[in-house]
Amino acid sequence: MSMLTTTADFRVPVTPHDTATPSPRDLVMRLEQHPPPLPEGHDERLAGYGVIGLAFASGHVLGLRRWSVSSNGPAYTSVWHCTPRGKWTFYADVSPEQACTRYTGVAADAAHAMYIGMAWTGPRTLVVEIPDIALRWTLMLQATAATRLFDAARSCMPDRWLASDRVLSVIGTCARMVLKTGPVRLAGRMPNGQRYHVAPNGLWVVGATRATIHGVDLGMPGECGPQASIGDFLVPRRPLFALATARFDAFDPTRHLADTTSPVERLRAARRARP
C-alpha cells in the first residue's frame, strides 16, 4: 500500500513538459542559496515558500511557511496546525515574536519554538518533521496545465502592481476559477490587526500527501466542513505549494496586538480592547 494519500478530488493531468522546467526543489534551493533582495519599504517584507494550507477530511488543517529572508529578523520555518475543534497551534524555529504569531497570535491557542526539519527526497517530494511533537508530513508536488497558466499570467505582471488590493483580488478570483481553490484572499487583515499582501510567484498542486502528528494519522486530504480561515486568510480548498513574497504592516502598538498566545497576554489584550 502506498504511504501517501492522493488528493483525488483535485487530480489534474500533468503535462509532458513537466520534466523540461525547473523542479520545485531546484527553485527552492536557488532561493535558499541566493535569497532575493527585499523591496524598499518601511513595512515588514518576506520572501519564501510553503504550503498555503491543506485541509484533511478528519478536520485537521496544516500549513507550512518557510521565509528564507525577512526584514523583521532571521529566516525561519513555521508549521500551522488547526484541530477539528478549530484550535490553532503555531510551531516555529524562532521565537513567537519573530514568527507568524507576530500576525496571528491573538487567534492562536498556543505557540511553540522548536526544531523543524525539512528535506527534499526527490525533485518534487518534500518531507517536514518536528520530532518534539512526532510530526512527519510528506508532500508530493505536481506542475499542471492550470498551474503553468497561472504562473505565466503572473510573470507578465510588474511587481509594483502587487501592492494593489484590486490586482490581488483579481489574482485571487483567477485562482478560484482556474485552480478551483474556492475563495482566496491575497490581501486582508491578520488577527493581530496588520494588513497583509501576498503575491504568489510559482505554484504547484499537492498531488499526494501523508501526515501524522502526536502519532495520529491525519488521513485523506479533503474538507469536512466550512472553509478554514484565520483572520481574513482562507485556506484554499485545493492544496497548493507556492513560492511567494509577502508584506505586512509594520507593527504599531497603538493599532496592532502583540503576540497574545499566553493566558496573561490574552487577558492584557482584552483589557486594552475595552472601550
Q: What is the pLDDT along the chain (275 residues), one digit of tens a residue?
A: 334 554 433 333 333 334 468 999 999 999 999 998 888 899 999 999 999 999 999 999 999 999 999 999 999 999 999 999 999 999 999 998 899 999 999 999 999 999 999 999 999 999 999 999 999 999 999 999 999 988 888 888 887 787 788 888 888 888 888 888 999 999 999 999 999 999 999 999 999 999 999 999 999 999 878 899 999 999 999 999 999 999 999 999 999 988 655 554 555 555 665 55
Backbone φ and ψ for 268, nearest 5 degrees, come out as -65, -40
Residues β-bridged to residue 135 = 130
Residue 110 domain boundaries = 43-273
Rounded CA gap, 192 and 104, in Å?
Answer: 6
Backbone φ and ψ for 80, nearest 5 degrees, come out as -105, 140
Residue 25 lies in a domain: no
Sign of the Cα pseudo-torsion (75, 205, 186, 260, in order)? negative
Residue 113 lies in a domain: yes
Instruction: Tell me how many domains the chain contains.
Output: 1
Residue 207 lies in a domain: yes
Residue 19 lies in a domain: no
Residue 134 lies in a domain: yes
Residue 38 lies in a domain: no
